[in-house]
Every structure is written in C-alpha cells, then in structure tokens.
Chains A and B, each alone.
Chain A
C-alpha cells in the first residue's frame, strides 16, 4: 500500500433499472480511481458519463435498486484504512446469464442499515460534498448560519452553541463572504448564486473533512464569479491541506485546479494521469476523446477554416447495450483501417503508457 493514497476506488459497478426500457443501465462500469493525499483529482466527461454517480456510489448515496453491485472503496484515515462498501454484497443476489444481468434481488432495508453503519463516521467528518446547485442542496427555510452551526455541532468537538456560532462565522469569513456576522442570518434565497456557492463551501468545510468532493461547483455561474470560486477552492485547499475530487464537464475548470485528471466516458475511465500529460494538446499519447474534448472548447485556435468549431459528432451512447469494442468507436475520428477491426470488436485494456498515465485505447497501445 502506498502511504500517500487517500481514497482508492477499484472496479466499481453501479446499475439502475429503467422501467420504460425494461433494462438495466450500467451507469458506472468498472471505474478504478486513486486519489493521493493533498492532491486534486479532476474528473471530466460529458453529461451521462457517470462522473457524479461514481462519486455518489462512493459516498453510499445511491439508494435506488439495484445501485452499487460490485467494487471496493478504501479510505485511508488517521485511524487506519476503512472499506466503505464492506458487508454490502451479502444483501444482494444477482442472476447473471451470458454476462447479462437477468434479475437482482436486494434486501434494501438491511442494505441501507449497513451503509449507515459504514458511513456514519465518514460522511461529514472525513468526506464532505459540494453539490452543483447550492440552492437546492440547502434548506430554504433555515438561515445559512444555522445550517452551518448544525454541521459544526454534529461533526466537530464543539458542543457549545456560542462557540459553534463563532466557528460558523469564521468559516463564512474564510470563504470571503462580505460581513459574515450579518450574512449569518440570511436565508439561501437572500444570497446570489456565487455567494450561495461560497456558503455551501463553508458548510462543507465546517466539519473539517480530510477529503472534499466538489460536484460541478461552478456550473451556472458567471465567468467572473466562476473564476473567483475556483481561486477560492484552490486557496482553501492549499491552506487546509485537504484532498479534493473535482467533477466538471468543463475541461478548462478542471485544468486550472487538478494535479491528476481522469477522463470519463460512458461509465468508464478512458484516461487517467498527471494533468500536464493529459492536457497536452500536441501529445500523441493521449486518448482521442480527451483530444476531442480539448478541441471543442471555443477558442480561436480551435476554429476550422469555415469558422466552425471542432465538435464531437454524435452523442454519448446509452449504457444499456454497451458495444463489445471501444465505447468511443462510433465517434472516434482517429480510428484507421489498420486497427479498426480491433477497435470495433475488442474493448481496449486500461494500460499504463508512462508512469502514472493510463489510457484505454488500442491506438496508444499498439
């Protein structure tokens, strides 16, 4: 075991069942990720690629059946290593024929109880989450101050309400909210989008976690505010020395904060490696999907001669009927006759091409 490892996810599989299509949706399909202590892992990918679901699965927040069916999540805390999904498989019976799931029987009550047991000293205390829409994630009927005080009382040593209030004001100040004493008594609807997101960050950090998961923290904010929130997250991470997992569909946000980047597509990680290596536009080692994502960012050098942006044609395939070959095959512009057959019929392995940099593509392996 590497001592610097903080969170390790191995071969995670999460399913949903679609009543309309009468089929299992394989949302997270064998995701393996490693986050090192004090580092930022950026997870990037289009909507529906399973970024959020893999993190929600890690936190035990997927309630719907069948949910998480397979995988291993290890969190290294000061007290030692902890398996977050332990003992869950005994409550699930899966019937598999021809590598397809036919039915799943799950004892939901027992499952939920076990999740509670596993997670109650982890959520908040060890891992906090920032959600995409702060106004939906907060209680609209309570002042933001009260909500932060609740977190402080629940998760830290403080038991005195006055001290907890001081702590809450301290965190509001820490996230650079103007006049925190006064804002303490504001309701979420009385704050602007950017300020609400700051309050959310304050709330997440007030329980003093060692790992922060930020799910699309800047989506829907103005460019100026977005930039400020990113700066704030970077600054707080440096000062507090926490580990961060940042989820975004915006590769430019990811590139500003991450030490390591994982690119997800259709439920799997297509590429993971140091930010520099993954974002290198001129590299011939990165995944074609990563390159396509980078070149569809609206910037001058990405314009074609006719003034068009380079786009990725087609859409993310649904994860019900997963093709046998590479998932990106249908949209890939770099497949060529030499390897096309292999791409079409065989799923490429997740292979290390340089230290710490792994890619799932036949083109890069051959």
Chain B
C-alpha cells in the first residue's frame, strides 16, 4: 500500500451518560463506548468505506478524526504528526487539509445565505489576502467543478434541490483545497439517479485532486463500488477490514455476511450464508455490551456451534488479526 496519509491507532471515544438526581443512588454514571479501540490507515488517493448499522459509531469515528469531537484516547497521525496532541491553534493549519461533507445539508447550510457567500466564507478563512476579483474567480471555478450553473451562486440554499445542495456542500469543502475528506452519508436521502451523479462527481474530483476519502455509509452497494477498502463496524469496533470486492464477495465475519445478504436482490449471496436469516435480531444496546465477542448474542455461527465458551469469554474478545494482512477479521470462528 502507498505511504499512509492517515494512521489511526487504538482510537476510543467514550461518552458518559450521567444519571439524573432521582437515579443518583442507583448506579454510577455509565460509559457509552461509541468508538472502542479502532485502528486503520488510509493511503493517498485511497477510499476507505466505513459501513455498519446506525448507532455503531461510524459518524463519531469521522468526527473524532477531524477533532470535531475530542477523542478519549488513541492516536491519529496525519502526515507524521500526531494531531491528537495539538491544541486548537496548532491544529488550525491541518483543518485546511481535512474536511467533512456532512450528512444533513439542510442543517449544514444556512438557508438564508446566498451560495456565493457560503463559498466566499470558506475561501477567505484560509486565504485572508485574496482580492475581491480573485475570490469571484475562485467561487465561479468551484461551482463549475461541481457541475452547477453560475446562476446558482445567487440562489439561497433553501431554493436548491437536494442534489444541488449536496454539490454546494462538496464545493464548499473543496474551497480550502483539502487532501483528506470525511464523507458522511453523502448520498443518503437522494434519488438513485441523483445519487449516481454525486458519486460520479466524487470519483472525478478524487482523480483530479488526488483526494483520500473516508466514506461513511450504510448503503453497502455504494460502498462496495466506490471504496478501495472497506471496514465493517459493529458496536464501536471494526470487525472486518479488507479490499472491498473481497469483503463483499468473500466475507469472513458472520456479521458482514448478514449485512451483505440483506441487500435487496442478493439472492445468490443469501444462499451462501444460509441460516443467517434466523439470527437473533434483538435490540442491541451500547450500555450493556455482552462479555467477550459483542456480536455473539446475534451471531448465527455462535448459535450453530452450540454457544462455544470462547465467544463469551470476557478475557478473550476477538481482535483484528495481524495488521500486515490485507483482509482482516475479528472473529473466533471466521467463515470461508
């Protein structure tokens, strides 16, 4: 693999959940391990897809890496600098390199500000000495990069359609010329046809500017075709990571197999993981992770093998095996 642009090691983000006054004497504050000890690296011009069900910690991972929320422990090394140790002032130059495309653009764009001003603001934050003419040229260049008409610059975001807002969101991110972009569900709530346009745009921009993406999505089909590598998350942990085609076609972790088999038309894949449909899909709860493997309570393999003790051994939670291997899995009884 290419020289890693970003190296995340043992990243943890624990939220504490304070009990109210009335519950004070019941239990001490509980800890919610939203992101629990995850490690991965990302090369230049590479896309890592991060998939999992809602609430598994995908977005929190993205936000922690960009220091939009503080991490509890672990290190994030960006171009040989551990950014977790930097204070806000020292981190400021790095902000320019690392950006995020937010999930909900209705919330991320001010509905009353014209698109021209949205982009100008983003440009001037890091280029304080630009003249008005230069700024105008740059905004027009940005809007053409994302295939929007120049006339849209005078619209307010409330006047744009979902697909157009998405493009403005991308243009705003590109304004600071980043190297690494966290794309948080960039196509959720878009029609398939518009989704295809946005995905094509992201791919073009990646090739043009040598961008690296951390692509967060619960749309497995999309992740499969857009990412070079995929990491599957479950309850704050990465349970499987590897080249996307391999993870999709030859899943090793039972959870990955179930995820992919739940694709709408995955009939042939469903057959591969026969029996997985009977998995116990009870509610999962962050506050009470089971001892040992966290997936065990829902795992078809665990049930099929007659509940082996290794899976629930609190001392022996499965870890991602040797990091030099391309395709890694955290499971005592991997498939395949």
Instruction: Identify which of A193, A226, A312 contacts B193 (C-beta below 8 A).
Output: A312
Q: Contact flags (1/0) for B228-272 with A, using CB distance below 8 Å? A: 000000000000000000000000000000110011110000000
Q: Count CB-based A-B contacts (< 8 Å).
A: 93
Are A296 and B54 in touch, CB under 8 angstroms?
no
Residues of A within 8 A of B194 (CB): 46, 311, 315
Q: Which residues of A contact B (CB under 8 A)?
A: 46-47, 178, 192-193, 195, 219-220, 222-228, 230, 249-253, 255-256, 292-293, 296-300, 303, 307-313, 315
Are B196 and A309 in touch, CB under 8 angstroms?
yes
- The answer to the question of B95 belonging to the interface, with a C-beta cut-off of 8 Å to chain A, is no
Residue on A with the closest CB to B54? A222
Q: A222-B218, A223-B263, A256-B264 known; 13 other A-B pairs, CB under 8 Å?
A: A178-B283, A224-B258, A224-B262, A226-B262, A230-B264, A255-B265, A297-B192, A298-B192, A298-B196, A298-B219, A298-B224, A298-B226, A312-B193
Q: Which residues of B contact A (CB under 8 A)?
A: 53-54, 161-163, 188-189, 191-197, 199-200, 203, 218-222, 224-226, 258-259, 262-265, 281-283
Q: Can you list 19 A-B contacts with CB-CB less than 8 angstroms, sorted by A residue number?
A: A46-B194, A47-B191, A195-B283, A223-B220, A223-B259, A224-B259, A227-B264, A228-B281, A251-B192, A256-B265, A293-B192, A296-B192, A296-B193, A300-B224, A307-B203, A308-B200, A309-B196, A310-B196, A312-B196
In the bound complex, CA of A46 to CA of B221 (Å): 19
Are A309 and B259 in touch, CB under 8 angstroms?
no
Residues of B within 8 A of A315 (CB): 161, 163, 194
Are B193 and A300 in touch, CB under 8 angstroms?
no
Are A252 and B283 in touch, CB under 8 angstroms?
no
Residues of A within 8 A of B264 (CB): 226-227, 230, 252-253, 255-256
Q: Contacts A178-B283, A220-B189 given: A296-B259 contact, CB under 8 Å?
A: no
CB distance from B148 to the nearest CB of A (A): 11
In the bound complex, CA of A224 to CA of B280 (Å): 12
> Which are the 9 A-B pairs with shortest beta-carbon distances?
A311-B196, A252-B264, A309-B196, A227-B262, A312-B193, A296-B196, A46-B191, A298-B221, A224-B262
Interface centre among A192, A255, A298 (most CB of B within 10 A): A298
Q: Contacts A223-B262, A224-B262, A309-B199 given: A298-B193 contact, CB under 8 Å?
A: no
In the bound complex, CA of A298 to CA of B265 (Å): 12
In the bound complex, CA of A323 to CA of B8 (Å): 54
